[in-house]
Every structure is written in structure tokens, then in C-alpha cells.
Structure 1
Amino acid sequence: MAVGVEEEFHTVDLETHRLLPRADSLLQQLPAERFGAELQRSVVETNSRPFLRLLDLAEDLAALRRGVVASAEPLGLGIVAAGTVPVVDLDALKVTPDARYENMLEEYQALAREQLICGAQVHVDVGDRELAVAVAQRLTPRIPVLLALSASSPYWLGTDTGYASYRTLLWSRWPTAGPMGRFATADEYDALIADLVRSGVISDPGMIYFDVRPSAHLPTVELRLCDACPRVEDVVLLAGLFRAMVIEELDAIDAGRPCEPPRPELARSLTWRAARAGLAGELVDPDARTPVPAPVYVRRVVDALRPTLERTGDWELVSELTDAALTGGGSAARQRAAFAGGGFDGVMDLLLAKTRAHTDWAPAVGPVRPRVEVMLRGYDASADEAVVFDGTARGPYGLVLNALERLGPDGLHEREKLRDEVQRGLGMTFHVDGEKERLFPVDVIPRVIAARDWTWLQDGLVQRVRGLEAFLRDAYGEREAVRAGIVPAWALDEAPGSRADGALVPTGTVRCAVAGIDLVRDGAGRWSVLEDNLRVPSGIGYALANRWLSARVLPELMRAQPTAGPARAISVLRAALAGDAALVTVGESDAAFFEHRLLADEMDIPLVTPDQLRVDDTGVHANGHRVDVLYRRIDEDELYGACPDLLASVQRGSVRLANAPGNGIGDDKALYAFVPDLIRYYLGEEPILPNVPTYLCRDPDQRERVLEEIADLVVKPVDGYGGAGVLIGPDATAAEREEARERIRAEPARWIAQDTVRLSTHPTFHDGRLSPRVVDLRAFVTQAPDAAPEVVPIALTRVAPEGSRVVNSSRGGGSKDTWLVL
């Protein structure tokens, strides 16, 4: 569940510490998609990307602060993150010259003139507007503790107000501020907003200022109650706690627990007490209706959220940030201590310093944030895994960007020459029908998968292959899933990969010795399964070769990176074959023959073509050697055509095919839509890895939706591979979309559609610059007889050509080495 943040900042004169209406000067230098204006010209707003990981969010927030501070200081401006600043001159400040804001000034007078306040707003994606409305109203009694954690506005118009968050009292004067009421449906909520607009009390839905509200245009829940925080880690803490609260309320809705919000009078009193006390006084326990010292209550809330925070992987970080937030009594207490030592100038010095000091804060990453200035100029990092929008390194990419900075474009060109030399020595080539053989495209810049991601992915990959193996056995056995209504009969009977010989495999045989699971990641860090490859998945050999290339091309980085080596990957693959084995290939005419030869050499098994197989009463022989297993990198028909007696040996159990015949039934794009339900049915577990939402065009209702929304969808043939026949709606012309509609209408059962995922990008070196290219990840899972599935500790990142979302080699795609952090 992704979380994002909007932060508001005051612009002040660095010398006088007074607010200055200079936000427009800053915004001219900053990207409009990440920075914006607010009602008052002395306020700048920043907008983070949504992220799953709080560490990623922290990096983005720190980069946004760096951006606004770097633009402000040459103009003599300072940036302050706090609910209010101590001294303002109301007559000297103006609203932003915008028709909406000028109308608000005319209509609301003093409310608008005195809107010299800044907040931190947290957005959590719940995926559905009905859920957003349902969750928002349930959160009312839970969020005052978040206000207490953020409280940073004790001073207003030159006086100590006695409140930790006086901003809350200023904000509450708006007619639509405060706790959200009860609504049965989103339509009822929208009807209220329409009534408020029609009444003239507000001019548009954006003026709904409830403490928590559903977004006006996205399926998100927004927390709007909190002060801006001088320390970015406090904002990250708010985001982590609020998301956990949202998740708990979603769970409550799923469990059918009723919503029992407090009476409005109590709800407002909870907020008032938090604004008054902050972290230095007492808060009110909404259940017991009793006062509790703020630090005690905060820890009680955090501890109660621990199971949910552990589910999201946030517990350790949130626990650490909570300890830090409670130290010193919060921002309001620190400001009062600064005032005692230096008056309002002391307060402003503190706020400026705290806001600026935390522009480089990112836990577990360290203070060094390398950037590659020249090669990243104009780089679009809006969905990037490695680069923050300001060109600094994200997550584990500090070492990589440091190396790129040292090498520069000329150095990378030299490393590319070395790469090509090594590839030629390896014979690392590839060809597409009608083309000459060429070096397989490999980018020199590696992709890094963080340890936390890889650990989670491994669990999900093993679970998925266990479920698919159970399905393959059932599909060619008793078909219990069909009888139970989990999957329709047509999904088996009409699947292009279904084969009669699949039923000849002896009971208990491992059908999927090697699976290739294609994964995609979006800009928020969400991983999904895109496709399952259970027939003859390719790519392990290229992944191994990419690692050898890295070891030669970037040895200084490889020595510093803790990742499994090729030897371990070969060991896992060889163990899955379990016995005397041979690798069967079409031969040099196969586009991936390089990989076949490499794998056979590394596993020290014979590489044979079908005509080199001999079947007799003693078994199957490859080049004169008796074999138990044939690792086939060839279609069934080609294999049987050259060795017609082989199928009888498979049926007798004298030889095992890896993978078993008929596995293509599991590659079917229509069957993919049922995999989560199959996992639940066979394993009794909730799927770890989600599917991309998929629509079956054979279903009339789903087909109509696809035909209507094709511009936003990806359309695929159920039996397609290599990107053939795929239409990406957002990238297609009107004529191409209409052609796709006609194909769907003519043969609806042949097509599925999927939601378009905004795939993550990764830096790729091209023409002396770094270019963001779409990437996916093919991971491999092996199964040996009588052993649990095991993930091969090497993976293949595939890279799309510039301007494309299709990564397949046959469509001009390439690859890069993938470092799986241990």
C-alpha cells in the first residue's frame, strides 16, 4: 500500500527572519510536478512520489527539501518547516495571484489573510473510492496522536499561545475543517460536497478540509491534520503510523466490524487536547476517555500497531523514529527552549537549522548522496529505481553512482569496449529471424535488488511455483480445481499449451523443474507477477554471462557487493535435474544456442540435438551415455519428431523431461488470471505476489470494459510470447486500437487485457548519457524430486529499447547484470 506526502514550507528572509512573499521566485526554478504554490505567496508546497517503503519516501522527502533550500538560499531566503513562524507582518503579505486564491481572499477575508500556516499531509492509496470514504470516517478518534507528534506551532503574532499547535486552531476556523462525519457510501459523501459547493460556502471540492478525507480525484485517504515538521524523520514517522492505521481499518472492514466513530463533541475535544499539549502534556485516550501522559500514550499506540507495522516491514524504523520524536518533548518544546536562550531569533535559527539539516537524512543509507551531474542532465527519474529526482542516488545505489562519477562518459565507453571483447570471447550472441547474429545487448550499469525486496520476492516465488506445480498435476490428473469451481473447464480444455501427452507423465513426477517468473515493479516499489513461464523458460545462461561481464568490466564494484556468485546458481540448477542429465537443443539455429552451450558446459552435462538421442530397452542414451533426465530447451513436437520413441520412455518413467510435456497449459495468459485462487485452493495460503489486474475478453462484461477502456490497457494473445501480438493502449494509435478491438470481437477467447503498470525505470548508458529505460525481472525457481522449490540466486533484468515498454530481445530489448543483495 503506497504512501506519499505533501509538505508546506515558509519562505523567510535569512537576515530578518520575517516571512517574505517570494515563493513564486523559487517555483520558477523548480519542476512544477514536484513543487507548487499555496494560498499565501510565502508558502511553497512539495509533493513526494508514492512509495511502499518508508526509506524510499524518506529519500524523496529529503531530496525535495534539498531542492527548495538550494533554490532559496542564493535569493537570501530561508526555508522553514513548521506550523507557524513566530512573527509575521500581515499587511506585507499577499495571496498567490491566482483566480481561485483571490476569490478565497474576497470570500473568507481574515481567514485567508491569516492563512500563514504550513502542514504535512499524508496520502495512502487504498485502491477504491468507496473504501477511501469508509476508512476516512473510521480514523477520526485515532489521528489526534499524530497531531501531537507533529505539533510545531506554539508562537503566533509574536506571542506564546500556550498551545503546541496553534496552527490547528487557525485551521479549524474554515467552514469545512474538523472531523469527518458519517457516510454510508461515496455517493452520499459526494452529494454533501455538491451541496456545499451549490450553497456557495465553498467554491470547489478542494476546499474540503476535514482532518481526514478521501481524495477528490484519487482512491486515496488523506491525513490533513498535522503541522509541518522541521525534522523529515518525523514526517516519515507520521506516514508510517498513518498507513498502519489505514491498514487496520481496512482489515476491520473486511472482518465486518462496524464503524463506531465518537460523537462530534468528543472528536473535537481529542483534537483540541492534542493541539494544546503536543508531546509535553497529556492526551486523551479515546476509548477510556481518560487523560494519559503524551509519551505514554504515543508508545501505547505504536505498540498496538506493531503487528501491522511488522507486516509492512516498518516496525524497526518506526520504533526508532518514535524514540527520536519523544526525545526533548517535541518541536514545540524545543522551540520554547530556544526562545528562552535567544528569543524569536533563536527560535528561527533553530527552525532554519533543523529544516536544512534534514535535507540529507535517510536512515541506513548514510550521509553520502552521490550524483552524476553531466550524464544525468535532463534525466526523468519519476519512476526510477536508482535515481532520486534531483540526481542523487536512491537506496543501495551509492556505490554504483560513485563509480559512474569516477569513470565519467569516456571511462564508461572504455568499459563498453571491454564488455564487447568479453562477449565475443564468450560467444555471447543472439539472433532474430531475418537478422544477422549479433552480440546480446548488455548495459554496463548493474541493477541492484535490495535485500529486503529479494527476501520477500523469494518467499512469493516459491509459493507461486508450489501452487503452479499442484495445478499442473491436477490439470493432467483428477481436475479437482475444476470440480470445485476454482477454475473453469475451458481454461484447461482450450488452453493452447494443453497436450494429451501431459497426461502420460507418471504420477508424482516433478513437472516444473525450472520455472521462469516475470516480475515488474512500479514507481512506488510495488512488485507484481506479469507472466509465468513453465514450458522452456530461458535466461539463466544470460544472467550468468552478465555476472561474468560485470566481474571483468566493473571489478571494483563487484568486490564490494555482497551477492551470490554464478557457482551457486549452477549448483541449484544442477540439483534440480537430479541424476545423469543431458541438455537437448535444436542446435546452432536456435536464437538462444549460446545459452544452451553455456549451461551444458557449466553443469558438465552433454549438449545434444534430438537426433543424437537413442531409446532402447535399457533406457535413453545421449551420445552413447545413459541419462535419467533431459533438460529440454526445445518444443515437444520438435523433440518427438526427431526421437519418436522418447514419449514411451517418459510414460514408463525411464527418463524424465525437465520440463514435463504439456506445461504450456500453465503459461496461458487466461489461466494466469486464476493463479491467485489456485494458490488459495491448493496451498490454503494467501498469495504473496500479486497479479496485474487481468480481464478475460471471452467474458462479455469484461470484454465490453476492455473495448471501452482499451486506451488504458495492455492487450495480449493468450498464447503469445516474446511480445508478439501485444498492444499497449497508451502507446498505440487510434487506428491500432481499433484494429485490436476488431480482433477481440472476432475471437474474444484468444485475448486478455491487463491494467497498464507504470513500470519502473533504470539508468542505461547510451550516447554518453544515462537514459531511463523500462526494466522487468525474470527470476528462476527450480524443483528437484522430493525437495522444496528453491530460487536460483541469479536473475535476469531485461531492458526495453528507448521509448518502449517491451523488454523482449526479439523486440530490440537487452539486459543488465542484476545484483541480489544478501
Structure 2
Amino acid sequence: MSDLPLLGVEEEFHVVDLETRRSAPEVDALLSQLDGDEFAPELQRSLVETNTPVCATLDELRENLRRLRGTLEATASPLGLGVVAAGTVPLADMSTDAISAGARYERMQHEYQLLVSEQHICGAQVHVDVPDRDVAVQVTQRVAPYLPTLLAISASSPYWRGRDSGYASFRSMVWSRWPTAGPPGHLETAADYDRMVDELIASGTISDPGMVYFDIRPSAHLPTVELRVCDACPQVDDVVLIAGLFRALVARARADLDAGLPLPAARHELLRAASWRAARSGLEGDLVDLVGPSLVAPEVLIGALVDHLRPQLEEVGDWEQVLELSRAALGRGSAAAAQRRVYGRRGEYVDVVDALLAHTQGRRPSHEPPQTVPAAAELLAAYHPSSFDEAVSAGGTVLPHYGWMFRSLERMGPRGLAAAESALRTEQRARGVTFRVGDGEPDRLFPLDLVPRIVTSEDWSGLTAGLTQRVRALEAFIRDVYAERSIVADGVVPPAVVQDAPGLSRVGRLVPADAVRIAVAGIDLVRDRADHWLVLEDNLRVPSGIGYSVMSRRLIRSVMPDLEPPAGVVGLERVPGMLHSALLSATDVDDPGYDEVALLSAGESDSAYFEHRLLAARMGVPVVTPRQLQVSEDGVYLVGTGARRRLSALYRRIDENVLLSAKGADLRPIGRALVNAVSRGTVAMLNALGNGVADDKLVYAYVPRMVEYYLGEKVLLDNVPTYPCVDPEQRAQVLDRLDELVLKPVDGYGGQGIVIGPHAERAELAAVAEQIRAHPAGWVAQDLVELSTHPTFAEGKLEPRAVDLRAFVLQSRLGGQPHAEVLPAALSRMAPAGSMIVNSSRGGGAKDTWVLR
């Protein structure tokens, strides 16, 4: 296709009274002052339609959309009217039959009765030119499977007749009542299409070809194929995005037709189901991937669609713009979610209409949330935190950045939250979101709380700098430990700290010198006051939680659609791609198959196997176990899954000792062979074997010294004050203060073995004192930090629970050196009632964490 495919857009708008914010049947007064070539009436007299000129570029389309919207507002405003681009408006009067004049509309009212009265809905239609009607019919069939994704992008109609519908696009639910609405039936030629139209007219179902209301159809009056599935969009950029994707889909369909590829075989029922799911979810819940079929995140489906269409987008110069617009749309979330956020501030529909009026013209709404809000009376009546609480002040007032959230929670009330909690557990079971406490234990639902935690942009900025600094220092330490041990020779770290470290491994020396040792670090943080974060623990072996963080966001959105993250929350759609890029950086792009990466897992026996499968699926890589691997002199191969594939890198999520004793595809031990392959550089393993030397609780005490020694920088994130019992002087102090300190075994895992002195019985303290004297190198003590608390829904009420934060730092190899960056996918963990130990193996749970931009 050498000629640039032209396109145009028809947009429908609600006419509203600026005093009442209700829909107003005043389109005749508006149209009497407008040019009839670009403006037209719709079925209801409270609606008006605009038609752009034919456009060649997306920039030209955007300019015309803005011009027409501006003209509408300039004409409507002196009449006391406004125009809203959205699928529905909350305040619409359906008690009258105010339809536009004309024999066609009158005939429709007589034939379809109440259905006509309900049509207070607005859509956006996109036209793309095609050479003839046979091509148009073929295009409708080939593009139809992708239309639910476009509907999800456009979803802007959560409110219907003064109440929340529970849908992101209720307009599509109303529209689906027409007898000819929905996905197109199976048709292959223009003759097939015309025959179908003739039969529908003969049956009395419709009266003219323009009443075929398929989601996509050959236009009844233009040489185009017409997209009809979308809501009207408040944001012009969303219309431009949809138009760009649709033009590329048409071009792709024409290319497939020219190549003789068969029509897609998606079932009609499944297409309807996918459209329903898109209408229900918008961009805040999972969508249907027809390949499978399966439920996937919008970020995955939209990202895959944009990648799929890259050749067609590049051909017309739309690639960069559509990529940027798609990311921006995912970052904002759906227009439906935005309306719910506005409503949540005061519970007033007029605020929603005001915001829609502003967004339609590209302006920021003037109202802002109040700076202080009263406590949510019912939910917080018995909420009495004993230490610093992150959401509620000591006086019982909800802190400003939590205000809108608590208004939403208060509207739900205890019963609504209990229902959401039940729905959450059902969703978790359906998706298999589980973990296992230990070997031989049954899988359990991952304990997830309903109330998200907010981390402000100021806090996150400080944490980002401190976390990257810390991981850079730990990377330097591991490299040094398995080489010269300069930090020991210079007396900065005692020899025994390294030599007796439980994680010191002989295979650590076999990792190539230029390899990135820490690809993924999980750093646990706590805070004891608003402006003071402390590092509690470093996890550098196989840290878990990224996948649970991503899934937590998805689950909370799906069961509490009213509780949408504000626009300023950093999205998680980029997280799998960032992880994948970090893994690929360990490979040589000049080598064949450099991107053949796999996630290495112990399989179903691993407590975090759900996360392994989730992350692998989001990255588009396989999950493999040692039994699927074969090692030869020239590399590591994945076998037993079809074609034999040479792997360039393994993302290690399996315990080092388990891996070293595992058997490969030939049933012989594979550990030594894998280590040798890593040493030869024929496969990269991330995280590296031997990383455990740097993350036990004794080495932790010396990390601040590492920062100063290796980086020459001032430490940005403090440790919890820590006392190594291997030091005689500090051991004596610890034994004198057992009832004040937290005692931790150096090689403890998952909170096991920890004794909290102020909460311990006398006999328990005596027992730990005996263990410290017998094996002092196996223990450290720390000052007791009163962890901050956060509201958590439990047993029908909100109660303060101690929380920590696991942040994830990625390291990529750039220019031969490690480069650290912090993922926005942080996992907040909360302790059981009355406890300060947050580990899931000790009864703890997790929260969705909203990082503000």
C-alpha cells in the first residue's frame, strides 16, 4: 500500500445545562448557529455530532478534533450550555421523549419504543478508507478480535441514571440492546454483506442499511470501514490513539488479505464475552486475550497490540506517537476511573460533569481535593494506633493524601468492604494466587489486604537514591569478596564476618569477573516516623515479591472499582519489561539467540511458583526446571519442550543448594555442569551463585562501611542500629540489654528464630542468652524500632497493623558496568495483630503499594 490511508472521526457529545449539569434537549438552538457540514443532530435532542474532515496524519486529526470541540463550546456557552465527550453523563433526564425531528427518528421511536428513550449515550466512530467494499468486509472480519481492546481504552461511562453501574463502559451495555449491535457475523464478501442487510430489512428488524450497528462495518455512505465500538472520549489524545491503532489494524488486515492468510477463527460468543469484559474492566481490570483464551492485564494486551502493529505504524509515521499515547493512556487509566475518583472527593455528580466539561476542552478541572479531611467516622471509630500511623494522625484525622481514599472506603462501609474481601478471595482462587509456608505444607491464598498504602513522591525520591547507592556498594562487596578481599585486608570488615558468612560459596569465585552479580535485589525497609526510613534487611539471592506486587494492583482494582488509584500513581505496566531488559543486558546482542532467556525454578514445589509463572508470562519467557536443561561444552539447552533451544541467560529463582544438587534432563547431577557453563560465559545466571555472602544479618551491620569504602559517599539510608554478638564488647552489652533488643540468628530466614526482647518471656530470654554465649557469631541484636502502622481491614473493621516495605532494585550491565534502578513495584507487608513480624510464613500479609509521581 503505497498511498497513505486517510481517516476521519465522528464524535458524539452530550449537551448539558451549565447551571444544573443535567443533560439538556437544546441541540436545535445549538445547531442553528453551527455549520451543518461538520455538525449534526443525533437521535436524542440532548446529543450533537461532529464530523472531522478527511485527515492524512494523526496530528491533523488532533487539530481538527480540538477545533470542533472548541467551536461547540464557544457556541454553547452563551446559551448557558456545555458539551461533554463521554459515553454517558451521570445526570440525564429520560422521562421525556425528546427525540430529534425527522421521519427516520420518528419511525425508530415507534418501532423500538423504550430502547430509543434510553439512547442518552455517546460514541466515537473512526473511518479509514479502503479501495472497495469487498476489502471492507474482509477487514471487518480480521479486525474484529482486536476491538474489545479499543473499547477498554475508550471506556468513559461508569454512571447511568444517577448511580454507579459497576461498569467502565455502561454505554456499550445500553448499545448492545439494539438487535444488530455487537461483533460482526461471519461474512466474506460485499455480496454476503448486502444479502444480510436485505434479509434484515425484509424481516422488519431494521429499516435501512445505516441501522446495522455492528462494532465494525463497511460504512453505509462512505468508501470506508467504520469503527463503532468505542465510547466518546473526554481526552482528545485517547481518540487519536484509537484512530492510530484502528488505521494500523486496517492496514494489517489488508496485508494479511493480500498474503492470502485465512480469516481468524475466534468464536462469535467469545468475541461478545471479550467485549463484555472490556466494558466491565476498562483499563483497571484484566481483559480477554482471545489466544488461549485467558485473562491478561491491559498493559500486556495493549503493549502486545502496539508491538504487533509496529510495521504498519512505522509505514505511516505513527509508531512513536502511538507508543507514547498508549503508555500515557495506561498511566492515566480509563476515563471511567477518573470520573470515579472525582466523585469520591465529595460524592457529587456535578463535580464529575464539571471535570468532563474541562477534559473535553483539554483543561485541568479547577477543583482540588481539600487539604484536610475528617476521619471516616464509622470505619475509624475504634482505630487507635499506638505508634506513628501513615494514614491517620494522632488526633484521629485522615492525612490529606489519604482523604479521597477514605471517603471511598467510608461509602463502602464495613459491609461493602467485607463483600469486597470475599470477592478478592474468590479472584485469588480463580487465578491461583497462592504461596506455601514450607515443604509439605498446602498452598494458601496469598494474604492480601484491601486498603492500599501510599508512598509520596518525596519519600520515593529519597528511597530511590538510597537504595541504588546501597546495591552498588553490595555489588562491589561481593565482587571483592570473591577476588582480592581488599575490604578485609584494609581492616574495614573483620575477616570472620566474611569467612564465617553462611552464604559464602565456593562457586562464587567461578562467576566471570565482569558479570553483574545482583540483577534483582529485594531491600526491606521500615519507618519509625514520617521522615525516617531505615533498611531492615537485604535480600540478594532469590528475592520474591515483584509478581505479587503487580498482581496485588490488578486484584484490588478488580474487586473495588470505586477505589481507583489517582492519576499521580506510578503504573506497573513497565515492570516486566524493565526486568526483562535487565536480564538481556547480561547477554551479547551480537550472538545468535541472545534473547533466549528463561526463568529457572524448582517448579511446583517452590513456595513462590505462582510468581515465577506470572513474571515469566509477563516477560514472554519460559519457566524451566533443572530437569528440562541439558549442558554441553557450547552452552545450556532447553529440551523436552519441542525444538531444542540454546539459552543465553537464566533468571535464577531457585535456591543455590537445591540447584547444585538437582538433576538435569539426562537424570545426572547438573549443578557442576551449570557452574562450569557460567564460568565459561556460555550462559549468564542472574542472580549469581554465591550472592548470599552479602545478605546475612551480620554482614548487614557493615553495609554503611561498604558505602563509604567502595563509593566514597555519605550513607543515604540508615541501618537499624545493629550489634554483632561476635564482638566481645558488643556481646556483653547485648546480654545486659536482652529485654530491650531484638535478637536475630544470622542465618535466620522468613522471621524464624527472632526474639523480640520487650515481648519475650523470661525463660525465652534465658534460652537465647545461652545460645548467644555458645555461638556468638550466629547472632546479632538490634534496637527495637516501633514500626509504622497502616489501616488494615480485618474481622469487619480497620485496625492498625505494623508494616514494612520491600523495594526492588534492578541492575543492568551498561558499558560493562552495573547500572541500578528501582522498580515502582514495591510490596508492602503487614504483620498480624499484635506482632511486628511481617513475614507471610509468620502470619503476615501484603498490601498494594501506590507510589506517587
Scaled by the length of structure 2, the TM-score of the pair is 0.53
Shift of 1:436: 2.6
Any conservation in 2 of the 1:481–1:487 contact (CA below 8 Å)? yes
Encode CA deviations 1:171-223: one digit per residue, 9 max, x unaligned. xxxxxxxxxxxxxxxxxxxxxxxxxxxxxxxxxxxxxxxxxxxxxxxxxxxxx
Select which of 596, 607, 610 maps to 1:591: 607
Q: How do 1:368-517 and structure 2 match up within 5 A?
A: 368-381=372-385, 382-433=387-438, 435-517=441-523
Equivalent-residue separation in structure 2 for 1:525 and 1:815 (angstroms):
22
Work out the CA distance in 2 between the residues paired with 1:502 and 1:365: 54
Instruction: State how far apart, in whole Å, the 2-side matches of 1:391 and 1:447 are.
Output: 18
Q: Give the root-mean-square deviation of aligned CA atoms.
A: 1.4
Instruction: Work out the number of aligned pairs and report it.
Output: 459
Cα distance between partner residues in 2 of 1:741 and 1:365: 54
Q: Percent identity?
A: 52
Structure 2 residue matching 1:710: 3-state secondary structure: coil
Hey, what's the Cα distance between the residues in 2 that align with 1:545 and 1:492? 37
SS in 2 for 1:531: strand
Q: How far apart, in 1, do the equivalents of 2:777 and 2:490 lie?
A: 22
**1:525 Cα deviation from its structure 2 partner:** 3.6
Give the corresponding residue for 2:47. none
Q: Distance in 1 between matches of 2:504 and 2:565?
A: 47
Q: How does 1:71-90 map to 2 (within 5 A)?
A: none
Task: Name the counterpart of 1:771.
Answer: 799
Counterpart Cα distance in 2 of 1:471 and 1:436: 38
The offset of 1:687, in angstroms, is 0.9
Query: Aligned to 1:602, which of 618, 621, 629?
Result: 618
CA displacement, residues 354-405 of structure 1 (integer Å, 9 cap, x when unaligned): xxxxxxxxxx973441422122223223321101123321141112111111
2:545 maps to which of 539, 542, 547: 539
Deviation readout 1:220-256 (Å, 9 max, x if unpaired): xxxxxxxxxxxxxxxxxxxxxxxxxxxxxxxxxxxxx
Q: Is the 8 A contact 1:372 1:391 kept in 2?
A: no
Counterpart of 1:567 in 2: which secondary structure? coil
Letter in 1 for 2:455: I
Q: Name the amino acid aligned to 1:513.
A: A
Contact 2:633 2:677 in 1 (8 A): no
Q: Per-residue CA shift, 1:526-568, capped at 9, x if unaligned?
A: 1000000011111111111101112212333325242222221
CA distance in 2, matches of 1:419, 1:709: 44
Q: Deviations over 1:706-730 (max 9, x none)?
A: 1111111111111111001110111
Native 8 Å contact 2:631 2:674 kept in 1: yes
How much has 1:471 moved relative to structure 2?
A: 0.6
Q: Distance in 1 between matches of 2:766 and 2:529?
A: 30
The CA deviation at 1:524 is 4.3
Q: How does 1:532-681 map to 2 (within 5 A)?
A: 532-578=538-584, 579-623=595-639, 624-641=644-661, 642=663, 643-644=670-671, 645-681=673-709
Task: Give the corresponding residue for 1:700.
Answer: 728
Q: Which runs of 5+ in 1 are unaligned?
A: 1-363
Partner secondary structure for residue 599 of structure 2: strand
DSSP 3-state at the match of 2:562: helix
CA distance in 2, matches of 1:565, 1:625: 34
Q: How does 1:272-283 map to 2 (within 5 A)?
A: none
For 1:418, the aligned partner's letter is A
**Alignment partners' CA distance in 2, 1:559 and 1:531:** 29
Deviations 1:711-765 (A, max 9, x none): 1111111111100111011111111111111110111110000000000000001
TM-score w.r.t. length of structure 1: 0.55
The equivalent of 2:849 in structure 1 is 818
Q: Distance in 2 between matches of 1:688 and 1:367?
A: 30
Shift of 1:475: 0.7
- Quote the residue 1:759 is aligned against: 787
Within the candidate set 511, 524, 529, 1:523 is matched to 529
Q: Is the 8 A contact 1:468 1:675 kept in 2?
A: yes
Give the Cα–Cα distance (whole angstroms) in 2 for the partners of residues 530 and 769 of structure 1. Answer: 29
Report the CA distance between 1:586 and its aligned residue: 1.0
In 2, Cα distance between equivalents of 1:636 and 1:431 = 19
Q: Which amino acid in structure 1 is aligned with residue 513 of structure 2?
A: T
1:33-52 map, 5 Å: none
The letter for the 2-side match of 1:674 is: Y
The CA distance in 1 between the partners of 2:400 and 2:483, in whole Å, is 47
Distance 1:537 1:773 in 2: 23
Distance 1:459 1:468 in 2: 15
Residue 752 of structure 2 corresponds to which residue in structure 1? 724
Matched to 1:374, the amino acid is E
Does the C-alpha gap of structure 1 residues 669 and 524 become closer, same or farther in structure 2, counting only changes over 3 Å? same
Q: Which residue of 1 aligns with 2:775?
A: 747
Shift in Å, 1:443: 0.3
> Match of 2:40?
none
Letter paired with 2:415: D
Unaligned regions of 5+ residues in structure 2, if any? 1-367, 585-594, 664-669
Q: Distance in 1 between matches of 2:383 and 2:780?
A: 34
The 5-angstrom pairing of residues 27-426 of structure 1 reads 366-381=370-385, 382-426=387-431
Contact 1:620 1:626 in 2 (8 A): yes
Provide the C-alpha distance between the structure 2 equivalents of 1:619 and 1:436, rounded to a whole number of angstroms: 37
Structure-1 separation of matches of 2:834 and 2:714: 36
**Does the alignment pair 1:784 with 2:812?**
yes
Letter in 2 for 1:699: D
Contact 2:533-2:718 within 8 A present in 1 as well:
yes
- Does structure 1 conserve the Cα–Cα contact (< 8 Å) formed by 2:371 and 2:400? no
